[in-house]
Amino acid sequence: MTAFKAPRLQDRLKQADSARQAAAAAFRERAAASGPAQAERMEKQRAVTEAREARAAERAARKAVEQAERQQAQAAEAEAKRAAAEAKVLADAEQAAAQKAERDRRYAARKARSK
- For residue 99, tell me if it sits in a domain: yes
Query: pLDDT value at position 34?
Result: 67
- Cα 72 to chain centroid distance, Å, stands at 18
- For residue 59, tell me if it sits in a domain: yes
Over residues 61-66, mean pLDDT = 97
- pLDDT of 72 > 90? The answer is yes
- For residue 46, tell me if it sits in a domain: yes
- For residue 17, tell me if it sits in a domain: no
Higher-confidence residue of 7 and 100: namely 100
DSSP for 21-64, written as a single string = HHHHHHHHHHHHH-SHHHHHHHHHHHHHHHHHHHHHHHHHHHHH
- For residue 18, tell me if it sits in a domain: no
Q: How far apart are CA 65 and CA 58, in angstroms?
A: 11
- For residue 8, tell me if it sits in a domain: no
- For residue 9, tell me if it sits in a domain: no
Domain interval for residue 102: 30-114
- For residue 90, tell me if it sits in a domain: yes
Number of domains observed in the structure of the chain: 1
Query: What is the average pLDDT score of the chain?
Result: 91
